[in-house]
Amino acid sequence: MPSAAFETAAKEAKGFTKLPDDEILLRLYGLYKQATFGDNTTDKPLLDLKGRYKWEAWKEHEGVPQVEAEVQYIALVEELKSSYQ
């Protein structure tokens, strides 16, 4: 179950007034999925390019414990807040 700090960070990330570039968005996505679901065990999309990028971003964090992914996600949101809020 995600911590209160993680849920707060997720809300803050959704409230960014400027959109981060795709690389940062994929990092956020991968850490979020790893923190909430653990390792990616889904099949890699073949024709859906956006889905493939997201799948790869999540897969990059394979083996990272969910608690550690939460910590990394929160730290990344804190780092980005000054630039995107």
Per-residue pLDDT averaged across 3-32, rounded? 96
> Which has the closest alpha carbon to 53: 42, 40, 44?
44
pTM of the model: 0.94
Question: Quick check: 1 pLDDT over 90?
Answer: no
Task: Please give the CATH architecture assigned to the domain spanning 4-84.
Answer: Up-down Bundle (1.20)
DSSP H helical ranges for the chain: 4-14, 22-37, 49-59, 66-84
Question: Quick check: 2 pLDDT over 90?
Answer: no
All structural domains of the chain with their residue ranges: 4-84
> Which has the closest alpha carbon to 10: 85, 84, 82, 74?
74
